[in-house]
A and B are shown apart, each in its own frame.
Chain A
Amino acid sequence: MLEPINVSLESLNLMTLAPMLIPIVGALLILIVDMFKSGLHKTLYVVLSMLFLLMDFGALFDSAVMFAADGTIMGVFDVMLIDGLAILSQFIIVGASLLFIPLALTHKRFHEFSYPEFFALFLFMISGFQFMVATDNLILVFVGLETASLALYTLIAMHNRDKSFEAAVKYFTMGALAAGFYSFGAMVFYALTGSVEINQIATVLAANNYADIGFVLIGVVFMLASFGFKLSIVPFHTWAPDVYEGSSAAMAGYMSIVPKIAAFIVAMRLFEFLIHSGVVWLEVVLYIFVVITMTAANIWALVQSDVKRMLAYSSISHAGFVMAAILIGTTQSNSALFLYWIMFSFTNLGSFSMLWMSRQKHLPVGQSTDHSYDKFAGMIQTAPVAAVIMGLFMLSLAGLPPFALFWGKLYMISSAVTGGYTVLALIMALNSAIAGYYYLKLIVYMFMKDPVVGNDGHVYVANATLALKSIIGFAAVGTIFAFVALNPLLELITAFVYKSGY
C-alpha cells in the first residue's frame, strides 16, 4: 500500500495561482449571474469584467513587489514559475484586456456582446494566457494555450458575419495543427530528457553535451512551426489577414497583441537556452524567419486596399521585428521585446479602435469591405480630430519619433547593434522605411484627398460612445507622451528581465 503523500500547504505556495484564478472566478460569476437572471444589459458584464481585471492587476502588482524583493517564486509542485518575464507579460496581457473590454460599449448594437458568455469566455481566455506565461512546464503551457485558443475561436465566431465563421474555422484549423505540432515537439523533448520542464530539459541536454542533436533539431522544428502559427511568422502567417478581416476590428487589434506576447514568452523560454548553447541551425533558421517575416509582410501590406488587412499585415511585420529579440538573446534585446510590445499595444489597439469606431452595421452599397481606403478619403475636412488621432497612430506605427513605437524600435535596433547583428539592424531600419509607405498611404487618403460624395463625416464616429472615446484618448496620450514614462519603464523592465536570468 502506498504511503499517503504529505505536502504542507505552505510549500505549495498557492498564492502564485491568485492572478490566474481571479479571472476564472470572474467568469464563473458572470455565468452564475446569467443563470439567475438572463437578458441583463452588456454594461453590467463589461463593468464586472473590468472589476475582475482590475483585481487581477492588483494581484499582479502584489507578485511584482514580491518578485522585486525575493526573486523568482515557484509554486504548486514547482509547476508555476513567477519570474520577471511572467509578471511583465501578465501586465501586458491584463493591461491590454482592460483597454479592450470597454470597446464592447459601442453606440450601435452588436450581436456578440449581448451574450454574457462572450465575457465569460473572454475572462477564461485571459487566465489561459496567464497560465501559459507563468510556467516553464510544457504541459501547463499546452493547457493554457488550448484554453485560451478555444475561447478565442469562439469569440471570433460570435461576431456574426459570414466572414467571421470562415475566420473562426480557419483559425481553429490552423490552431489545431499548431497544437499538434506543439505536442509532438514536447514529446520529443520529453523522450530525450525525461522531463517536461524547460529548465530541466536544458540541464539534461547540456549534461550530455547535446549528443542527440538530431532529435533536438526535430523537436525544435515542431516547436518552431507551432510558434510560427501562433505568432504568424511567415510562412505560417496565411491565416492571419483573413482572420483579422473576419473578426471585429476591436478583436483583431486584441489578437495582434495579447496571444502574441504569450507565445513570445514561451518561445523566449524555450529558444533562448537553445541559441545560447550553440544550436547554430536554430539561429540561422530564426534569422531567416525574422528577415522574411519583416520584409515579406511589409511588401504584402503595400498592396492592400483595405485598412484592416493592411494593419493585419503590418502586425505580422511587427511580430517579425520583435522575433529578432529572441534571436539576439541578450538582456537588452529581451527588455526591448517588452518595451516594444508595451508601446505597440497602445498604438495598435488605438488604431484598431479607430476602425472599430467607424464600423457600420451594414456595408454601404458599392463598398466591398468595411474599411477600404476610400472610406477615409478627405477625413480631415469632415472629422478633423479623428483624422489627426488616426494620423498620429499611423506615424507612431511607422516609427516616427517621438511617438511611442519609435522608442521601442530604437531600443530594439540598438540591441541588434549591441548584440553584433549589424546587418540585421540595417534590415530592420530599412524595413521601417518600407513600412512608412503604407502607413503614409492612409495619411495621404485622410489629409490630401477629397471626401467621397455623400460622406458627411458621421461614419467615422458612428460607433462613438464615451467609453470608446476615452480608450482612444488614452491610447493617443500614451502614444504622444511615451517618452515621459520611458525611463522608469525601461529601468523596471531591465531589472525584471535581468533578475529572471534572461
Chain B
Amino acid sequence: MIDHILSILIFFPAIAAAFGFMIQKDSIRAYGVAVSVIEFALSLWLWFAFDSNAAGMQFMEQIALVPAFGINYILGVDGISLFIIILAAFFTMIGIASLTDTKNVKNMIITLLFLQMTMVGVFAALDAIVFYVFWELSLVPMLYIIGAWGGPLRIYASVKFFLYTFAGSLVMLVGILFMAYFYFQATGVWSFAILDWYRLILPETFQLWLFVAFFIGFAIKVPMFPFHTWLPYAHGQAPTIGSVILAAILLKMGTYAFIRFSLPLFPDASVFFMFPIAIIAIIMIIYTAMVAYAQEDVKQVVAYSSVSHMGVIVLGTFALNVEGITGSIFLMIAHGVVSGALFLLVGVIYDRRHTKMMSEFGGLASVMPRYATIFGIMLMASVGMPLTINFVGEFLSLLGFYQQSHILTLLAGIAIIVGAIYMLAAYKKMFFGVVTKEENKNLPDVNKRELIALVPLVIITIWLGVYPKPVLEPINNSVESIVQLMHDKAISQEAKSRIPNLVKEIEITQTSIEEAH
C-alpha cells in the first residue's frame, strides 16, 4: 500500500467526496472531518516512511496514459513537495473541522474534498500534463466556493479569479507543449515527464522564451505584482474557509512550480531574469505593504500582507542557491500556517460581528483575551519575530539573496520592517484602547471548535520556529540536488558563477580535512 500512497492521497478524498452525495445533510460534517483526518493520517504516514536522507524522488508511480504522445501518469515526492502535501491535508482537516454554520454545508464539504484531490495532485505530479490537469482543475472548486458562499461581489471576484489564472495557465500550456516538442526533437520521442526534461539542455534563447511562458502562468498564481489584482477581490469576497485554503495552499502552487519547473529547466534564463524578478518581488513587498497599511478592512490587511510575504518567497527562490531556495520552501510552509491562521482568526471575529471593518472594533483585548493572545502570537509570527516559524524562512531567504545582491536584500529587509508597522497598527486599532462600541462589550471568546483549529497552528508556529530541523533537513537535501542540477546544466559563464557548484565545495572541504590531518 505504501507504494501507492501518493495515488491514495490524491484519489481518496475524491472518491470520498463522490460517496458524500449519499450522506444525509446533518451528518455530513462528521463525515468530512473523518475523511480529512484519515487523509491527514495518511500524509503523516508518508512523512514517516519518507527517507529524509535521499535527495531524489520517492514513492514514484508510473502508469502509461497516452504513450503515443508521451503523456504518462507519473507521481513522486521529494523534500520540496512532501511538506506542502502534508500542509494541504492539514489545512483541509482544520478547515472542515472549524467550519461554522454555512448554508448548503453538504455542497461545501464535498467541494472541499474535491479541492483537496487537486491540491495534492499538483504537488505530487511529475508529468507536466498531469500537473496541468490538477492545476487547472483546482480552479473549479475554488470558483464555486467563492462564487456560492462569498460576499456581495462574489460573482465578480470568482470569475476574475478563474479567468486570470486560466488565461495565464494557457500560456503556460503553450510553453509545456514547446518543451515537449524540443524534447521530441532532441530524442525522437514525445515525453512530458519532468524528470526526462531535467536532462535536456536548451540553448539560451529558447530558455528565455520558455521561461517567460511558464513565468506568466506561475506569476499570476503567486500572484506577483502587477498580476496580483485578482487576489484582494478573491480574499475579500471569499468565505473564511476559501481564504484559508487559497492563502495556505493554492498560492503555493505558483512558487512551488517555480522551483519544480523554471529553475531546473531553464537555469540560464533564471539567472538572466534574476534581477528583474527580484526587483518585482521587492516592489511587491513594499507596495503591497503600503497598500495594506491603508486598508480599513482587517481581512484586506491580512490579504495584502499575504501578498507581501509571497514576495519574500519569490525573492528567496531566485537567490538560486541552497540557502535561498530552502528558505523559500520553508517560508511557503510558514506562510501557509501563519496566513491560514490569520484568515481563520479574521473569520472568528466576522462570525461574531458580521463586519471586518477595523473601526468597528477596538479594545477587544479586554473582552476576548484568549482571542487576542492567539491573534498576537500569529501576528508576531507574520511580522517575522525570531523563534516563530516565519523568521526561519525569511532569514534564510534573505541570507540566500544576500549572496547575489547586498542592496536589494537590504531593501527587502527594510520592507519587512514596514510590514511590522501595518500589522502592529492593525492590532492596535482592533485590540487596544477602550471598548467604544456597545456591541463589542459582550462578545464571547473563542469557543472549543475554534480552539481545535487554532491551537495546533500556534503549536506548529512556535515548534518549527524553535526547532525547524525535522522539516529543514529533507528540504535541504532535495534543494541541494536541484541546485547542483542547475549548475551542471547552466551554459553561460554568468550562470555558472551565480549558481554555486556544490560538488566542488564538498571536495574542498574534504581536501581541507585531509590537509588538517
| A interface, CB within 8 angstroms of B | 380, 395, 398, 400-402, 406, 410-411, 413-414, 417-418, 422, 425-426, 429-430, 432-433, 436-437, 440, 443-444, 447-449, 483, 486-487, 490-491, 494
State the 4 A-B residue pairs at the shortest beta-carbon distance, nearest first.
A433-B167, A401-B133, A429-B170, A448-B147
Chain B interface extent, by class: 35 or more
Can you name 25 A-B residue pairings with CB atoms under 8 Å?
A: A400-B140, A401-B133, A406-B133, A413-B173, A414-B177, A418-B181, A418-B184, A422-B178, A425-B174, A425-B177, A426-B171, A426-B174, A430-B171, A432-B170, A433-B166, A436-B162, A437-B163, A443-B143, A444-B158, A444-B159, A447-B147, A448-B155, A448-B158, A490-B66, A490-B68
Q: Which residues of A contact B144 (CB under 8 A)?
A: 447-448
Q: Which residue of B lies closest to A427 (CB)?
A: B174
Judge whether A429 and B174 touch: CB under 8 Å: yes
Q: Which residue of A lies closest to B69 (CB)?
A: A490
B452 at interface by CB-CB < 8 Å: no
The DSSP consensus for interface residues of chain A is helix
Q: How far is the CA of A494 from the CA of B67 in the complex (A)?
A: 13
Q: Produce 1/0 per residue, B142-186, CB < 8 A to A.
A: 011001100000110011001100110011011001101100100
Q: Which residue of B lies closest to A431 (CB)?
A: B170
| B interface, CB within 8 angstroms of A | 64-69, 107, 129, 132-133, 136-137, 139-140, 143-144, 147-148, 154-155, 158-159, 162-163, 166-167, 170-171, 173-174, 177-178, 180-181, 184
Q: Which residues of A contact B129 (CB under 8 A)?
A: 401, 410
Q: A414-B177, A444-B158, A490-B68 are in contact. List 6 more A-B contacts (CB 8 A).
A: A400-B137, A411-B69, A422-B178, A433-B170, A440-B163, A487-B65
Q: How far is the CA of A462 from the CA of B171 in the complex (A)?
A: 41
Judge whether A433 and B163 touch: CB under 8 Å: yes
Q: How far is the CA of A490 from the CA of B139 in the complex (A)?
A: 28
Q: Which residue of B lies closest to A488 (CB)?
A: B68
Number of A-B contacts (CB under 8 A): 90
Q: How far is the CA of A401 from the CA of B176 in the complex (A)?
A: 14
Among A402, A430, A448, A490, chain B packs the most CB atoms within 10 A around the CB of A448
Judge whether A414 and B181 touch: CB under 8 Å: yes
- Distance in Å: Cβ of B67 to nearest Cβ of chain A: 6
Q: How far is the CA of A494 from the CA of B66 in the complex (A)?
A: 13
Q: How far is the CA of A429 from the CA of B137 in the complex (A)?
A: 17
- Distance in Å: Cβ of A38 to nearest Cβ of chain B: 48
Q: Which residues of B contact A411 (CB under 8 A)?
A: 69
Q: Which residue of A lies closest to B67 (CB)?
A: A487
Q: How far is the CA of A401 from the CA of B139 in the complex (A)?
A: 11
Judge whether A486 and B66 touch: CB under 8 Å: yes
Judge whether B162 and A494 touch: CB under 8 Å: no
- Distance in Å: Cβ of A491 to nearest Cβ of chain B: 5
Judge whether A494 and B68 touch: CB under 8 Å: yes
Q: How far is the CA of A266 from the CA of B219 in the complex (A)?
A: 44
Judge whether A430 and B133 touch: CB under 8 Å: no
Q: How far is the CA of A37 from the CA of B357 in the complex (A)?
A: 78
Q: How far is the CA of A398 from the CA of B69 in the complex (A)?
A: 22
A448 and B148 in contact, given A425-B174, A429-B174 (Cβ under 8 angstroms): yes
- Distance in Å: Cβ of A298 to nearest Cβ of chain B: 13
Q: Which residues of A contact B143 (CB under 8 A)?
A: 440, 443
Judge whether A417 and B173 touch: CB under 8 Å: no
Judge whether A401 and B132 touch: CB under 8 Å: yes
Q: Which residue of B lies closest to A443 (CB)?
A: B143
Among B159, B163, B174, chain A packs the most CB atoms within 10 A around the CB of B174
Q: Which residue of A lies closest to B132 (CB)?
A: A401
Judge whether A440 and B173 touch: CB under 8 Å: no
A413 and B158 in contact, given A430-B167, A490-B66 (Cβ under 8 angstroms): no
A417 and B177 in contact, given A400-B137, A401-B133, A448-B154 (Cβ under 8 angstroms): yes
Judge whether B170 and A430 touch: CB under 8 Å: yes
Q: How far is the CA of A165 from the CA of B155 in the complex (A)?
A: 39
Judge whether B163 and A444 touch: CB under 8 Å: no
- Distance in Å: Cβ of A174 to nearest Cβ of chain B: 34
- Distance in Å: Cβ of B385 to nearest Cβ of chain A: 41
Q: How far is the CA of A436 from the CA of B162 in the complex (A)?
A: 9
- Distance in Å: Cβ of B433 to nearest Cβ of chain A: 40
Q: Which residues of A contact B178 (CB under 8 A)?
A: 417, 422
Among A380, A433, A483, chain B packs the most CB atoms within 10 A around the CB of A433
Q: Which residue of A lies closest to B209 (CB)?
A: A422
- Set A401, A430, A447, A487: member contacting B136, Cβ < 8 A: A401
Q: How far is the CA of A404 from the CA of B399 in the complex (A)?
A: 47
- Distance in Å: Cβ of A418 to nearest Cβ of chain B: 5
Judge whether A410 and B173 touch: CB under 8 Å: yes
- Distance in Å: Cβ of B397 to nearest Cβ of chain A: 32
Q: Which residue of B lies closest to A434 (CB)?
A: B167
Q: Which residue of A lies closest to B137 (CB)?
A: A401
Q: Which residues of B contact A433 (CB under 8 A)?
A: 163, 166-167, 170
Q: How far is the CA of A395 from the CA of B133 in the complex (A)?
A: 13
Among A425, A444, A483, A486, chain B packs the most CB atoms within 10 A around the CB of A444
Q: Which residues of B contact A395 (CB under 8 A)?
A: 140
Q: Which residues of B contact A487 (CB under 8 A)?
A: 64-69
- Distance in Å: Cβ of B138 to nearest Cβ of chain A: 11
- Set A402, A417, A440, A483: member contacting B162, Cβ < 8 A: A440
- Distance in Å: Cβ of A64 to nearest Cβ of chain B: 18
Q: Which residues of B contact A417 (CB under 8 A)?
A: 174, 177-178, 181
Q: How far is the CA of A186 from the CA of B32 in the complex (A)?
A: 66
- Distance in Å: Cβ of A335 to nearest Cβ of chain B: 10
Judge whether B170 and A444 touch: CB under 8 Å: no
Q: How far is the CA of A490 from the CA of B66 in the complex (A)?
A: 8
Q: How far is the CA of A248 from the CA of B67 in the complex (A)?
A: 41
- Distance in Å: Cβ of B135 to nearest Cβ of chain A: 8
Q: Which residue of A lies closest to B164 (CB)?
A: A433
Q: Which residues of B contact A410 (CB under 8 A)?
A: 129, 173, 177
Q: How far is the CA of A248 from the CA of B50 in the complex (A)?
A: 59
Q: Which residue of B lies closest to A401 (CB)?
A: B133
- Distance in Å: Cβ of A294 to nearest Cβ of chain B: 13
Q: How far is the CA of A436 from the CA of B163 in the complex (A)?
A: 7
Q: Which residues of B contact A425 (CB under 8 A)?
A: 174, 177
Q: Which residues of B contact A449 (CB under 8 A)?
A: 155
Q: Which residues of A contact B137 (CB under 8 A)?
A: 400-402
Q: How far is the CA of A51 from the CA of B282 in the complex (A)?
A: 69
Q: Which residues of A contact B65 (CB under 8 A)?
A: 483, 486-487
- Distance in Å: Cβ of A397 to nearest Cβ of chain B: 13
Q: Which residues of A contact B166 (CB under 8 A)?
A: 398, 400, 433, 436
Q: Which residue of B lies closest to A425 (CB)?
A: B174
Q: Which residues of B contact A422 (CB under 8 A)?
A: 178
Q: How far is the CA of A385 from the CA of B68 in the complex (A)?
A: 35
- Distance in Å: Cβ of B70 to nearest Cβ of chain A: 10
Q: Which residue of B lies closest to A332 (CB)?
A: B69
Q: How far is the CA of A401 from the CA of B64 in the complex (A)?
A: 17
Q: Which residue of B lies closest to A449 (CB)?
A: B155
Q: How far is the CA of A335 from the CA of B458 in the complex (A)?
A: 56
- Distance in Å: Cβ of A398 to nearest Cβ of chain B: 8
Q: How far is the CA of A448 from the CA of B107 in the complex (A)?
A: 12
Q: Which residues of B contact A483 (CB under 8 A)?
A: 65-66
Judge whether B133 and A402 touch: CB under 8 Å: yes
Q: Which residues of A contact B155 (CB under 8 A)?
A: 444, 448-449
Judge whether A429 and B171 touch: CB under 8 Å: yes
Q: How far is the CA of A430 from the CA of B167 in the complex (A)?
A: 6
A429 and B133 in contact, given A448-B148, A487-B67 (Cβ under 8 angstroms): no
- Distance in Å: Cβ of B24 to nearest Cβ of chain A: 15
Q: How far is the CA of A401 from the CA of B134 in the complex (A)?
A: 8
Q: Which residue of A lies closest to B166 (CB)?
A: A436
Q: Which residues of B contact A490 (CB under 8 A)?
A: 66, 68-69
Q: How far is the CA of A237 from the CA of B484 in the complex (A)?
A: 56
Among A395, A401, A430, A494, chain B packs the most CB atoms within 10 A around the CB of A401
Judge whether A413 and B174 touch: CB under 8 Å: yes
Q: Which residues of B contact A414 (CB under 8 A)?
A: 69, 177, 180-181
- Set B69, B173, B181: member contacting A429, Cβ < 8 A: B173
Q: Which residues of A contact B171 (CB under 8 A)?
A: 426, 429-430
Q: Which residues of B contact A402 (CB under 8 A)?
A: 133, 137
